[in-house]
Structure 1
Amino acid sequence: MPSTRPASSSNALAISDSGVPSEFTHSAQGTSLRRILRLPALVFFGLVYMVPLTIFTTYGVVTQLTGGRTAAAYVITLLAMFFTALSYSAMVKKYPIAGSAYSYTSLSFGPSIGFLAGWSLLLDYLFLPMINYLVIGLFLNIAFPQVPAWVFVVATIGVVTVLNIRGISSVSSMSNLIVGAQVVFVLVFIALAGKHLLGVEALDLSAPWLGDGSQVGFLPLIAGAAVLCLSFLGFDAVSTLAEEARDPRRDIPRAIVITTLGAGALFILLALVSQLVFPGSAFKDPEAAAGEVMLQAGGRFLEMFFTAAYVAGAAGSALASQASVSRILFSMGRDGILPRRVFGVLSARYKTPTTAIVLVSLISLLAVVIDLTTLASMISFGALVAFSAVNLAVIKSHLFDGQPRSGADLLRYGLLPLVGFALIVWLWTSLSLLTLGIGLAWFAVGLAYLAFHTRGFSHKAPEVQFSEPL
């Protein structure tokens, strides 16, 4: 098992007078992130990462795929995500450090497997900011056709980069504003949709669950649930801020569970209302189905309001996702699995991983030339690999590494993560061949890099060093 011994006193965790950890210093080279985030900020970060309105990105596609049962598909996805969220909560209590699935898997199964898990996780984290920039360019180009989409993409990347370099407090402040704006839109949408539904004579409340008959059986629901995993890429991002939370062992697990359940409930509610307002699955353009729903519910005003709120949400998600992936790159660089002099250093002024932030921004420029379908395919594979690894890491670290094995432990650290792993594998079976092909190719590149880094696996990969007493 990787070393988890406490570091010397000079590298130990600093404790404030109130007993709250004030600073975490990594044993690799004295690098530390600022502990300033409390529970509300962590929850808002997770929610803005997930984008409350992200349901409308794939709403039309999933509605057609499931035969008008998007709400039911969300219930299945939420169930799988909830068990996985519990696993993330268990791991962050044990290892309250940045790195998410990479760190947890490294400390449970060893640095080589940890690197492969982190590499897979990078697939969705690297491209999630890009997909947001792409959507922003598309929507704003529709609103302002005289301005090329790439101008909006590049401008947004620049603003997001500056805010992330300035520090997590800037990200947190913007997250609060963006979530607030989307909450206002959700309230307006539900109010106008409710007014519309009051005028419907034969309202069928069972339609969102039974569908319109165009797709029957359980398999279409599972296929839709697999696509909807993209909506939940956010609860795990909260764990990447473990070294910037005031009380990570208490607040990070709570934030993960609250974010997962809160967002899941909101997704289901919005899907239900949308399907009642616009029954069935016959859209003029499935990729723009949200516009048809908004026109039906509140006319042109609601459609324009939706565009503004959706673009704001996409910008917020880009802001939060860039912050998360830069911290994963920083964690991997700090441990030496990526070049330490490049990725494992912080800005002297802002205490942020500036090099990693700028690199993610440069990669995100591909949003100017890449298409939405390819990006979505890249993201799903990495997320499911990481979720699977974290579920298994709970079992390994809590039950098979000399820990007490009471009945409660067997339930909490054995059965629950095993159920989460089984549900994630179940969703895997519904991924498209394109997604699997891209994901396996990315995994192969990571395996080749690891082989090069360890000289044909003859040397051990760098270990995660955890300086807080366990």
Structure 2
Amino acid sequence: MSNEQRIGARVLRRKPIDQLTHPGSELKRTMGVGHLTMISIGATLGTGIFVVLGQAVPKAGPGIVVSFVLAGITALFSALSYAELAGLIPASGSSYSYTYATLGEIVAWVCGWCLVLEYGVSVAAVAVGWGQYINELLHLVTGLRIPDVLSQPPSAGGIINIPAVLVVALSMLVLLGGSKGSARTNTILVWIKVGSLLMFCAVAFTAFKAGNLQPLFPLGLAGMSAGAATLFFSYIGFDAASTAGEEAKNPQRDLPRAIILSLVIITALYCAVALAAVGAMPWQSFEGSEAALSRVLTENVSGAIWPILLSIGAVVATASVVLTVLYGQTRILYAMSRDGLVPSIFARLSRNGVPVVNTLVVGSFIAVLAAFVSLGSLADVTSIGTLFAFGLVNIAVIILRRTEPDRQRSFRVPFSPVTPLVGLAFCVYMMFSLGLPSWIAFIVWMVIGFVIYFGYSVRKARLAVPSDQ
């Protein structure tokens, strides 16, 4: 075999599903369908609705409700594919593991590298949003604000975002206590933030004006699509339950249920909140609004208590997202490290089954990112990496239906291969709705990933080359 053939065999090698299904994991199985659903809701329901809404409404106008539906449909098609693969391959690596079994090692690396972008950068973005609502809450209660030099990145006139660093550090401490305790903490936080959003809807609808919804698409369908692309950030995280495949008590049954159930709950909440928000306040007034929902209540509803309660809910909501998405990031790196694609230190577990060094390294990197980068830049870059990974998952479903048709599946995507193909088409459409800066950042990230893969991972991978087996 020539050197070129050997390299080709290495990058295209696929990991058998049986190895992924029975990885010999030391992680502890402690989570049921309730915990798994709460992980996905906890990872999704947060900054997207509390902060990014203020950036998306000026792009779409009152049509933002339709933008949420479009983004939700895009997520739903991919969620169906995730549900099938999560039940078939209940491994910690999520879509990284799925593509390793179907598309080969180099595509799995690309997918894993996108997940590092999705989870790592989105945690930083959420942490930035948490700092904004902490500032809003402080202002509502005391009339004071944290100075910009200590609460904003350099691009926004500050020096360092200390609140964003603080919430990442607190989440690291919770995760170091073990997955069972983290799941319980997250469940409590999820109930609080769902209650906060329901409260917002009830209060904001008292100020609802039908005229605020006319015209529905003042910036055209292109504006609605641009709003949907930005809002897709709000759906990132529904796949987080799939990263707990090796810590679920009954993953084949519970993972598909958790993924679909969480997405249905999230989409219904988002549409209700968006309708209440644009109905209570003219869409032009959302321009430049970071704590958008708090502003809706402050300027359009009587009673000073409501914005305070909402800000408390937003602080809890975004903290929950930081916790659960940081959890997902550590589990993906755990799976990649166990395969040899990243250094083995990321797979070392403590006595209580926690990847301590992994959590500390990832958390420290994210804290630095959150301290010095603005929310808008982080959100769009996160979306493009996520859409790429989702597209690969839809392809993986089609391939496994052909290569493993007789393997038992606890959930099957209906109308396959049409449904996965539609999911793939939606992902591609949404990617091209994002701006050039997001594409440049994505391409640079991919180049860095390929340098690491060919410089380190392709030689260190533990999976044998096919010809050697």
> Is TM > 0.5 for Structure 1 vs Structure 2?
yes
SS of 1:166's partner is: coil
> Which residues in structure 2 correspond to 1:111-190 (within 5 Å)?
111-142=105-136, 143=138, 145=145, 148-149=150-151, 150-190=161-201
Confirm or deny that 1:78 pairs with 2:72.
yes
Question: Normalized against structure 2, the TM-score is what?
Answer: 0.86
**How many Å apart are 1:334 and its aligned residue?**
0.5
CA 1:461 to 1:146, structure 2 compared with 1: closer, same or farther past 3 Å?
closer
Aligned to 1:364: 366
Structure 2 Cα separation of the partners of residues 232 and 81 of structure 1 = 7
Aligned to 2:313: 309
Aligned to 1:419: 422
Structure 1 Cα separation of the partners of residues 146 and 17 of structure 2 = 60
Aligned to 1:351: 353
* Partner amino acid, structure 2, of 1:238: A
**How many Å apart are 1:158 and its aligned residue?**
2.5
- Identity rate, percent: 27
Aligned to 1:2: 14
Aligned to 2:86: 92
Aligned to 1:379: 382
**How many Å apart are 1:434 and its aligned residue?**
0.5
**Residues 37 and 244, structure 1, Cα contact 8 Å, conserved in 2:** yes
**Residues 235 and 260, structure 1, Cα contact 8 Å, conserved in 2:** yes
SS of 2:246's partner is: helix
**How many Å apart are 1:51 and its aligned residue?**
1.9
**Residues 100 and 328, structure 1, Cα contact 8 Å, conserved in 2:** yes
**Residues 204 and 280, structure 2, Cα contact 8 Å, conserved in 1:** yes
- Name the structure where helix makes up a greater proportion of residues: 2
SS of 2:285's partner is: coil
Structure 2 Cα separation of the partners of residues 298 and 119 of structure 1 = 48
> Which residues in structure 2 correspond to 1:35-434 (within 5 Å)?
35-52=29-46, 54-142=48-136, 143=138, 145=145, 148-149=150-151, 150-197=161-208, 203-204=210-211, 208=213, 211=215, 214-216=218-220, 218-283=221-286, 285-295=288-298, 296-340=300-344, 342-347=345-350, 349-366=351-368, 367-401=370-404, 403=406, 412-434=415-437
Structure 2 Cα separation of the partners of residues 179 and 298 of structure 1 = 27
**How many Å apart are 1:359 and its aligned residue?**
1.0
After TM superposition, the structure 1 stretch with the greater mean CA deviation from structure 2, 239-248 or 51-60, is 51-60
SS of 2:238's partner is: coil
What is the aligned-residue RMSD (CA, Å)?
Answer: 2.6
Question: Normalized against structure 1, the TM-score is what?
Answer: 0.85
Structure 1 residues 345-393: Cα deviation after superposition (integer angstroms, max 9, x where no partner): 211x220111111111111222222222221232112101110010000
Structure 2 Cα separation of the partners of residues 464 and 350 of structure 1 = 31
Structure 1 residues 139-173: Cα deviation after superposition (integer angstroms, max 9, x where no partner): 32451535743443343233211110111112211
CA 1:164 to 1:256, structure 2 compared with 1: closer, same or farther past 3 Å?
same
SS of 2:67's partner is: helix
SS of 1:37's partner is: coil
SS of 1:287's partner is: coil
SS of 1:337's partner is: coil
**Residues 67 and 213, structure 1, Cα contact 8 Å, conserved in 2:** yes
Structure 1 residues 317-339: Cα deviation after superposition (integer angstroms, max 9, x where no partner): 00001100000000000011111
SS of 2:14's partner is: coil
CA 1:3 to 1:68, structure 2 compared with 1: closer, same or farther past 3 Å?
closer
* Partner amino acid, structure 1, of 2:218: S
**Residues 114 and 389, structure 2, Cα contact 8 Å, conserved in 1:** yes
**How many Å apart are 1:130 and its aligned residue?**
1.4
* Partner amino acid, structure 1, of 2:313: A
* Partner amino acid, structure 2, of 1:177: I
Structure 1 Cα separation of the partners of residues 44 and 18 of structure 2 = 35
CA 1:382 to 1:464, structure 2 compared with 1: closer, same or farther past 3 Å?
farther
* Partner amino acid, structure 2, of 1:38: G
**Residues 83 and 255, structure 2, Cα contact 8 Å, conserved in 1:** yes
After TM superposition, the structure 1 stretch with the greater mean CA deviation from structure 2, 43-52 or 106-115, is 43-52
**How many Å apart are 1:460 and its aligned residue?**
8.9
Aligned to 2:26: 32
**Residues 48 and 235, structure 2, Cα contact 8 Å, conserved in 1:** no
For structure 1, the 5+ residue unaligned runs are: 8-12, 14-23, 466-470
Structure 1 Cα separation of the partners of residues 450 and 184 of structure 2 = 38
CA 1:463 to 1:262, structure 2 compared with 1: closer, same or farther past 3 Å?
farther
SS of 2:27's partner is: strand
Structure 2 Cα separation of the partners of residues 73 and 438 of structure 1 = 24
Aligned to 1:468: none
After TM superposition, the structure 1 stretch with the greater mean CA deviation from structure 2, 311-320 or 182-191, is 182-191
* Partner amino acid, structure 1, of 2:84: A
**Residues 205 and 279, structure 2, Cα contact 8 Å, conserved in 1:** no
**Residues 52 and 267, structure 1, Cα contact 8 Å, conserved in 2:** no
**How many Å apart are 1:190 and its aligned residue?**
2.3
Structure 1 Cα separation of the partners of residues 33 and 284 of structure 2 = 39
**Residues 110 and 463, structure 1, Cα contact 8 Å, conserved in 2:** no
SS of 1:286's partner is: coil
**Residues 86 and 255, structure 2, Cα contact 8 Å, conserved in 1:** yes
SS of 1:338's partner is: coil
The count of residues paired between Structure 1 and Structure 2 equals: 432
